[in-house]
Amino acid sequence: MSDANEARKKRGYAMRLNRATRWSALTACLAAVLLVAACNDSTLPKPPKPAQPPMPKTTAAPVLVTNGMAADAPSATASSANGGTAENTLSERITRGKYLARAADCAACHTSANGAPFAGGVPLKSPYGTFYGTNITPDKTNGIGGWTADDFYRALHDGMAPNQALYPAMPYTSYRQMTRADSDAIYAYLMSVKPAAVPNRKHDLSFPYNVRFGMRVWDWMFLKDTLPDASKGQSADWLRGRYLANALGHCAECHTPRGTFGQLDGAKPLGGAALARISAPDLTPDALAARGWTVKDLQTFFGTGIAPQGSAFGEMYPVVHLSTQYLTPDDLRALSTYLLGDAPPAPTPLPDRPDTLQLKAGRNLYLAVCAGCHAADGTGKPHVAVAMLGNSTVRQKDPRNLVVAILDGIEPQSFPGREAMQDMPGFARQLTDAQIAELSNYLRVAYGAQAGDVNSEIVRQLRQK
C-alpha cells in the first residue's frame, strides 16, 4: 500500500458543525438558496472579484534552499512571484510545483486509497453529506486536461470551476492566498502527471447542500482575501511561515473554529476546533507554549511526526505524512516560527512534584495497563511508545483527545526515517467509564499539570459518539 493510501485510511476530514447549529444552518441556507432562485441574474450576488491577494513578501524571494535532505525540494534559484526570472525551464517549474502541491497537501483529498495519483475519489465526510475529491489529472474527459492555467487559478482563488461554483470542501478559502506564480507551478506539475481515466463520483449531499448555486451566496458572504494572523511577527521566516500555514498548508481549515454556516471564525484564528472524533488543538502562541512547545520541537514534529511532546495522530497524521515531512528545513523553521511568533513565549515547565496522593486508583491502573509501553515514570520507550510526561495531549485543558486516545487507541503508523511504533490499543472494552476517568485524572495531574476534573459522564459521552 502506498503512503497516501495508508494515511487515507485514517483520514476523517470533517467540516465541523454540531447538531444544534446544523439546523439553523440548514434553514438559513435554504433561505439563501431560495433567495438566489428568486433572483434573476442581474441581482445575483457575485462572488468577490478575483483580486490579487496581498503577496507575502517572502514568496518574491523564497527562503527555500536546497540542502540535499529533501530530494524534491525546489532549487534556491526557483523564484516565484516576481515574474519568474530565475525559473527558466518548465522542468524547474514542475519540480517546484510538486513541492508546492505537497506543501498544500492536494493529495490528501485528491489521491484515493489504491488509486492513481490525483485521480480523485477520496471520501470526505461532513455534516452536509459526503464529498468526493475530484480527478485533477490531465485527463481530458474526467480530469482537468482541458483547463487553462487561468481556469486553474480561478478554482484555487475563487472556488470557481469553468462550469460551476465549487464547494468549500475544496479549501479555496485558504488557497485564495496563494500567489499566481505558485498556482501556475502546481498547474504545470499536475499537467505533467499521468492522465487517469477515472470518472468523478457524485457527491452524496442532502438538500439544500446539493444545490450548488448556494455556494455563490456563501462565497459572497464569507470568502475573504486574507486570513487573520494567529501570532505576531515580521521576520522573513515569519512571513514565509504565514504563507506556508495559511495559503498552502490550510492549517486553519481544521484548527480554526467555524461559525454557523461552516465559515472560519475570523475572531479565533487557529484557536482550536472539534473535528469528527478528536479535536484540532489551539495553536496560538500562548497555548502552544503552555503545552511546552518550542520552535525547535515544532520543527521536529512537522518533519518527523514525533517530538518530545508526543506523536501526530488522528487527522494530523496524514498532514505530516503527506505534506509537512517534505518541507525543507528552512520551511519547517518558518512554519514553526509563524506559529509561535517572532517573540515566542517561553515554554511552561512542568512542576517537579505534582501531588498525586488522591489519585492512587488511577496510578495503579496506569501501572497495570499503560506502563508496559509508556514506562512506569511516564517517560516512554524508544521505538515502543511516546512519553506521557509532558505529552501535549495530556497537557491540553480539554481532556477530549486524551480520553478518545484511550478509548479508541491509535492504528499502527509509520513515521519518516523508518521510525515505527506499535499501534496503541484501544481500551473501550477493557476499562469502565469510571476507570478511564481515574486514569485520565492521574495522567493530567502527574504528567500534564492539568486539573483532575474528568468524570465518568465526560467519558460516557465520548464513548457514545
Which residues 298-317 are close enough to bind ligand HEC by CB under 6 A?
A: 298, 301, 310-316
Stretch that binds ligand HEC, among 2-10, 50-58, 221-229, 242-250 (CB under 6 A): 242-250
Amino acid at 137: T
439 contributes a contact to ligand HEC by CB under 6 A: yes
Q: Closer to ligand HEC by CB, 85 or 272: give it.
A: 272
Residue reference for cell 452536509: 128
Instruction: Produce one character per residue of 79-91: b if its CB has 16 or more CB atoms within 10 Å, e if not.
Output: bbbeebeebeeee
110 is in an annotated binding site: yes
359 contributes a contact to ligand HEC by CB under 6 A: no
Cell of 66: 536546497
386 contributes a contact to ligand HEC by CB under 6 A: yes
Stretch that binds ligand HEC, among 191-199, 221-229, 231-239, 389-397 (CB under 6 A): 389-397
Q: Is 445 helix (H, G, I), strand (E, B) or coil?
A: helix
In the complex, least distance from residue 242 CB atom to ligand HEC, rounded to whole angstroms: 11
In the complex, least distance from residue 123 CB atom to ligand HEC, rounded to whole angstroms: 10
Cell of 385: 511508545
Query: For 20, how many CA atoms within 13 A lie in the half-sphere containing its CB?
Result: 1
In the complex, least distance from residue 141 CB atom to ligand HEC, rounded to whole angstroms: 11
Cell of 71: 530530494
373 is in an annotated binding site: yes
> Where would I find the beta strands (DSSP E) of 264-315?
273-274, 279-280, 306-307, 310-311
Q: Is 303 helix (H, G, I), strand (E, B) or coil?
A: helix
Give the total of residues touching ligand HEC (CB under 6 A).
Answer: 72
Q: Is 188 helix (H, G, I), strand (E, B) or coil?
A: helix
Q: Is 123 helix (H, G, I), strand (E, B) or coil?
A: strand
39 is in an annotated binding site: no
370 is in an annotated binding site: yes
383 is in an annotated binding site: no
8 contributes a contact to ligand HEC by CB under 6 A: no
373 contributes a contact to ligand HEC by CB under 6 A: yes
15 contributes a contact to ligand HEC by CB under 6 A: no
In the complex, least distance from residue 443 CB atom to ligand HEC, rounded to whole angstroms: 6
251 is in an annotated binding site: yes
Cis omega (within 30 of 0) for bond into 208: yes
In the complex, least distance from residue 452 CB atom to ligand HEC, rounded to whole angstroms: 14
In the complex, least distance from residue 404 CB atom to ligand HEC, rounded to whole angstroms: 9
334 contributes a contact to ligand HEC by CB under 6 A: no
Contacts of 278 (CB under 8 A, 6+ apart): 313, 314, 315, 400, 401, 404, 405
Closest residue to ligand HEC, based on beta-carbon distance: 310
Radius of gyration from C-alpha coordinates of the chain:
23
Please answer whether residues 312 and 301 qualify as being in contact, where contact means their C-beta atoms are separated by less than 8 angstroms: yes
Q: Closer to ligand HEC by CB, 243 or 427: give it.
A: 427
N residues, the chain = 465
251 contributes a contact to ligand HEC by CB under 6 A: yes
String of contacts with ligand HEC for each residue 97-136, x by CB under 6 A: ----x--xxx-xxx-------------x------x-xx-x
Please answer whether residues 445 and 424 qualify as being in contact, where contact means their C-beta atoms are separated by less than 8 angstroms: no
Alpha carbons 115 and 143: distance in angstroms, whole number: 14
157 is in an annotated binding site: no
Query: For 185, how many CA atoms within 13 A lie in the half-sphere containing its CB?
Result: 31
Alpha carbons 293 and 284: distance in angstroms, whole number: 11
Contacts of 408 (CB under 8 A, 6+ apart): 277, 426, 428
Please answer whether residues 408 and 314 qualify as being in contact, where contact means their C-beta atoms are separated by less than 8 angstroms: no
In the complex, least distance from residue 186 CB atom to ligand HEC, rounded to whole angstroms: 5
Contact with ligand HEC (CB under 6 A) among 173, 231, 393, 450: 393
In the complex, least distance from residue 435 CB atom to ligand HEC, rounded to whole angstroms: 9
80 contributes a contact to ligand HEC by CB under 6 A: no
Q: Closer to ligand HEC by CB, 23 or 372: give it.
A: 372
Site for ligand HEC in 154-213 (CB under 6 A): 155, 161, 166-167, 169-171, 175, 186
Q: Closer to ligand HEC by CB, 62 or 121: give it.
A: 121
- Phi-psi label, residue 84: left if phi above 0, alpha if psi -120 to 50, beta otherwise: left
Contacts of 49 (CB under 8 A, 6+ apart): none
403 contributes a contact to ligand HEC by CB under 6 A: no
Q: Closer to ligand HEC by CB, 25 or 190: give it.
A: 190
427 contributes a contact to ligand HEC by CB under 6 A: yes
Alpha carbons 220 and 177: distance in angstroms, whole number: 17
Q: Closer to ligand HEC by CB, 23 or 321: give it.
A: 321
Q: Closer to ligand HEC by CB, 23 or 377: give it.
A: 377
Give the residue ranges of the annotated binding site for heme c: 106, 109-110, 251, 254-255, 370, 373-374
Give the residue ranges of the annotated binding site: 106, 109-110, 251, 254-255, 370, 373-374
